[in-house]
């Protein structure tokens, strides 16, 4: 049996003929290797034979979309950030300077308008130059270069290891390039090829296409490039790094002038034009267009949140790599819900509250996030820091507003902002805001059975004694529910919880979108469960975004809308990607919300805004132990905003972490820090203007107190029967205090006497720190119970009655 010939050497095969053809003509890349071929042989036989053989190859390939930057836009369509691996902005040929068109043709392919994709004279010229040693040029036409760039783009998009980069192409790649070039010449006009090439080619670094290059080097559009600028850019194409004018200005200038000479020789410009242009300097005017959120300024944290949404959603690709590839190459237009103007103010106010450059603030931060009631649209997401991976003072990439899966810090203890959920459960189970509860009880044994019907045993226990402390003295006494909520009394909230089903409380928390950021003891968000009763006064970590969205339901008659950041996502071809629409549900009965707002509006109006906002507002304060996490979450019917100020690393209550009397903003903080010290003033700074940008209607009407006073409840039925005081503790002075609060709550903090009685969060939100020193505190719980932060069984520190 005869030995089988290799197809590479068998001239009877198509491939063999191609090899023979390349042996004669040394097309394209082989020319650069300096093969000596008789010019006569090339001219007489090479092209005729070559064109016939090449015509036997496949005539087309699938040109994948050219990589284009993606843009994130705010609600008004203004660009927030740009993402790219290749910075490119395709433009029409009419929008490219005629000088640029002439320059690239003169230097790269002066016979561009005469050949059919392959240029025999160009090949001959390259051969002669290489043989004579006068040049080391190749013979690739602009059409071949356009094909090569398309193939490179395909390889980058598909992750192919095959290379068609100049100098690395194998024989098959060169053959394909020739065939595709001749095919493209049959289907595209010269102008179309030139336009495609100028939009595709690399100029420098990650600047691709003439528009991006014109902006980068000269801060002008491609249509406005003058003669010398065009010549410089055209000269860069051959060796972008070598001829980069910022790195090698002398080489770049010399190369530019050679291009100008070529243009004059080919008749593209006159001698006068050449003389004038060659005398000019490089005239550089650099314009940066950084990729990614780091260039988004005050909008960087929202930008980062959006990128996490895109790269974690399978709608944008099967794998994370696919989704990132789409973001950086797919030319997406990502229209978002962000009010960028308002977000700028939020960031400014956050920095005003906590100065990121103050040396004392190495672990003290602030956050502002707003959500629109009725839609869930995220309107602002800002903080006092700069988005930067360097991590210097005032720099971080952690987004304090959200959970870890979205680039967040993982939340912070909610403190007394969690108390309204217990009040909702109280109303749900048939009680009233005007019921009297026994807030004198501050001790609950570890055997006390907290009703929890959703648990297997039907109840929860702390297993160790829980002493519920109040921030201020004088509040361990019977009081009305609305009074206890207004002054944020821990023992009042716990007394309510002892009379209801804890699962009713967690049902409301979960229905309103608030998640335990360390569910089941791991750093992963999950639903609230009633195992550790201390959650009722804020022992669990929650996020500002969830807070703003949850309280937005109080502004919208109990309808909760999931937070959303995306309005529309399309690619450059106009294809749309599915984005979540407003997902709203009735989470709380409207009347219960109205009853709750009857108290929350008093908190916001009389203790925080104090006459500075003349529209209906509501809200709740919150401070954890040591004031390492302080809050105010407030709302109108048009905007709900959560502000947070606290520590990131030093969240646990220790003497070292406590913010009471600590150095903050390079000044000594008040001895008692609470939400009125930093968080509430931050909210007021922001919202006193923001509320007028959105609707501000009535927050509903709370039911009035019943004509007949209900009999006071007591804890006599509790399983351990260890009430710390009897129901007769309700003194006439308490009655007067309660009536005073009910009739004119704002007066309760107007005097030093009232301030001392007010307990937690009793003070107003005036911006002077001296006002916080007079006992206006939503200060930490002084009890020794371990509310759940330790083992999830009620052993962590109880939260403040802020």
pLDDT in the model for residue 471 = 87
Other beta carbons within 10 angstroms of residue 571's beta carbon come to 16
Looking at per-residue pLDDT, the higher value among 556 and 791 belongs to: 556
Closest CA to 795 of 530, 467, 492: 467
Relative orientation angle of helices 142-158 and 98-108, to the nearest 10 degrees: 100
pLDDT in the model for residue 42 = 28
Q: In this model, does residue 134 exceed pLDDT 90?
A: no
CA–centroid distance for 126 within its chain: 53
Looking at per-residue pLDDT, the higher value among 523 and 86 belongs to: 86
Closest CA to 677 of 777, 782, 800: 777
| Rounded CA separation 127/131 (Å) | 6
Q: In this model, does residue 762 exceed pLDDT 60?
A: no
pLDDT tens sequence across 12-48: 433 333 333 333 343 433 333 332 233 233 223 333 3
Cα separation values, 497 from 43, 247, 257, 344, 773, Å: 97, 70, 83, 41, 31
Quick one: what percent of the chain has pLDDT higher than 70?
A: 77
Closest CA to 408 of 420, 416, 400: 400
Lowest mean pLDDT among 185-199, 363-377, 740-754: 740-754
State residue 370 phi and psi, 5-degree precision: -125, 145
What token pair was written down for 9? 């050497």
CA atoms within 13 A on the CB side of 23: 9
Looking at per-residue pLDDT, the higher value among 758 and 412 belongs to: 412
pLDDT in the model for residue 781 = 40
Parallel, antiparallel or unpaired: strands 436-438 and 478-480: antiparallel
Q: In this model, does residue 721 exceed pLDDT 80?
A: no
pLDDT in the model for residue 175 = 79
| Rounded CA separation 378/75 (Å) | 10
pLDDT tens sequence across 602-659: 999 999 999 999 999 999 999 999 999 999 999 999 999 999 999 999 999 899 999 9
pLDDT in the model for residue 31 = 33
For the segment 268-290, the average pLDDT, to the nearest whole number, is 95
Judging by beta carbons within 10 Å of its beta carbon (0-12, 13-18, 19+), is residue 430 exposed, middle or buried?
exposed
Q: In this model, does residue 126 exceed pLDDT 90?
A: no
Cα separation values, 162 from 173, 183, 636, 743, Å: 9, 22, 59, 80
pLDDT in the model for residue 125 = 66
| Rounded CA separation 219/298 (Å) | 24
User: 371 and 640 in contact (C-beta within 8 Å)?
Assistant: yes
pLDDT tens sequence across 56-105: 445 666 777 889 999 999 999 999 999 999 999 999 999 999 999 999 99
Closest CA to 456 of 531, 511, 506: 531
pLDDT tens sequence across 285-321: 999 888 999 999 999 999 999 999 999 999 999 999 9
| Rounded CA separation 274/257 (Å) | 9
Residue tagged 């055209």 (tokens): 234
Question: How would residue 331 be classed by pLDDT, with cut points 50, 70 and 90?
Answer: very high
pLDDT in the model for residue 151 = 87
pTM of the model: 0.81
């Amino acid at each position: 049996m005869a030995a089988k010939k290799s197809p590479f050497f068998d001239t009877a095969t198509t491939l063999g003929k191609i090899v023979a053809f390349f042996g004669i003509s040394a097309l394209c890349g082989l020319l650069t290797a300096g093969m000596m071929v008789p010019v006569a042989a090339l001219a007489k036989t090479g092209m005729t034979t070559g064109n016939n053989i090449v015509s036997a190859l496949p005539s087309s390939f699938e040109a994948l979309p050219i990589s284009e930057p993606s843009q994130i836009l705010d609600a008004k369509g203004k660009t927030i950030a740009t993402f790219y691996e290749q910075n490119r902005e395709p433009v029409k040929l009419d929008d490219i300077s005629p000088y640029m068109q002439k320059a690239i043709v003169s230097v790269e392919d002066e016979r561009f308008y005469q050949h059919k994709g392959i240029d025999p004279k160009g090949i001959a010229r390259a051969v002669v130059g290489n043989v004579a040693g006068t040049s080391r040029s190749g013979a690739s036409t602009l059409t071949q270069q356009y094909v090569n760039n398309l193939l490179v783009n395909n390889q980058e998009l598909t992750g192919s290891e095959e290379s068609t980069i100049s100098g690395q192409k194998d024989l098959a790649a060169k053959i394909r390039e020739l065939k595709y070039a001749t095919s493209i010449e049959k289907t595209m006009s010269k102008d179309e090829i030139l336009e495609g090439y100028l939009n595709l080619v690399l100029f420098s670094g990650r600047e691709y296409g003439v528009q991006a290059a014109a902006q980068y080097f000269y801060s002008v559009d491609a249509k406005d490039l003058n003669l010398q600028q065009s010549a410089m850019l055209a000269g860069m194409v051959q060796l972008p790094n070598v001829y980069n004018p910022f790195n090698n200005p002398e080489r770049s200038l010399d190369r530019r002038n050679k291009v100008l000479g070529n243009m004059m020789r080919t008749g593209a410009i006159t001698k006068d034009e050449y003389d004038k242009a060659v005398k000019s300097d490089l005239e550089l005017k650099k314009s940066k267009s950084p990729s990614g959120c780091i260039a988004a300024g005050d909008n960087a944290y929202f930008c980062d949140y959006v990128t996490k949404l895109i790269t974690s959603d399978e709608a944008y690709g099967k794998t994370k790599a696919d989704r990132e590839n789409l973001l950086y190459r797919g030319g997406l237009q990502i229209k978002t819900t962000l009010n960028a103007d308002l977000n700028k103010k939020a960031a400014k106010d956050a920095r005003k509250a906590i100065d990121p450059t103050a040396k004392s603030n190495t672990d003290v931060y602030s956050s502002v996030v707003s959500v629109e009631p009725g839609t869930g649209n995220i309107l602002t997401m800002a903080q006092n820091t700069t988005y930067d991976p360097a991590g210097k003072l005032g720099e971080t990439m952690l987004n304090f507003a959200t959970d870890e899966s979205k680039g967040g810090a993982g939340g912070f203890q909610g403190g007394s902002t969690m108390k309204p959920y217990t009040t909702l459960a109280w109303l749900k189970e048939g009680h009233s805001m005007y019921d009297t509860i026994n807030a004198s009880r501050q001790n609950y044994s570890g055997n006390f059975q907290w009703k929890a019907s959703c648990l297997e045993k039907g109840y929860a226990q702390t297993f160790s004694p829980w002493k519920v402390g109040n921030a201020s003295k004088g509040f361990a006494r019977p009081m009305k529910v609305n009074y206890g909520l207004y002054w944020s009394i821990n023992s009042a909230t716990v007394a309510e919880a002892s009379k209801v089903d804890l699962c009713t409380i967690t049902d409301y928390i979960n229905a309103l979108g608030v998640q335990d950021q360390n569910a089941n003891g791991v750093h992963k968000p999950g639903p609230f469960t009633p195992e550790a009763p201390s959650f009722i006064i804020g022992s669990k970590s929650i996020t500002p975004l969830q807070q703003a969205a949850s309280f937005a339901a109080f502004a919208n008659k109990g309808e909760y809308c999931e937070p959303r950041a995306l309005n529309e996502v399309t690619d450059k071809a106009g294809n749309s990607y599915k984005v979540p629409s407003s997902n709203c549900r009735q989470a709380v009965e409207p009347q219960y919300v109205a009853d709750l707002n009857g108290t929350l509006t008093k908190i916001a109006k009389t203790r925080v805004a104090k006459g500075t906002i003349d529209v209906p507002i509501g809200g709740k304060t919150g401070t954890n132990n040591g004031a390492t996490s302080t809050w105010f979450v407030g709302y109108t019917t048009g905007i709900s905003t959560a502000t947070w100020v606290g520590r990131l690393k030093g969240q646990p209550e220790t003497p070292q972490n406590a913010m009471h009397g600590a150095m903050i903003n390079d000044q000594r903080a008040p001895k008692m820090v609470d939400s009125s010290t930093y968080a509430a003033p931050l909210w007021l700074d922001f919202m006193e203007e923001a509320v007028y940008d959105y609707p501000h209607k009535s927050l509903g009407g709370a039911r009035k107190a019943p004509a007949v006073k209900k009999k006071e409840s007591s804890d006599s039925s509790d399983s351990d029967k260890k009430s710390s005081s009897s129901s007769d503790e309700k003194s006439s002075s308490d009655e007067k205090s309660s009536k005073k609060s009910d009739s004119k709550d704002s007066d309760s903090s107007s005097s030093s006497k009232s301030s001392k009685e007010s307990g937690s969060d009793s003070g107003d939100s005036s911006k002077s720190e001296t006002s916080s020193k007079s006992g206006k505190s939503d200060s930490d719980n002084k009890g020794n119970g371990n509310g759940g932060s330790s083992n999830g069984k009620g052993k962590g520190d109880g939260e403040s009655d802020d």
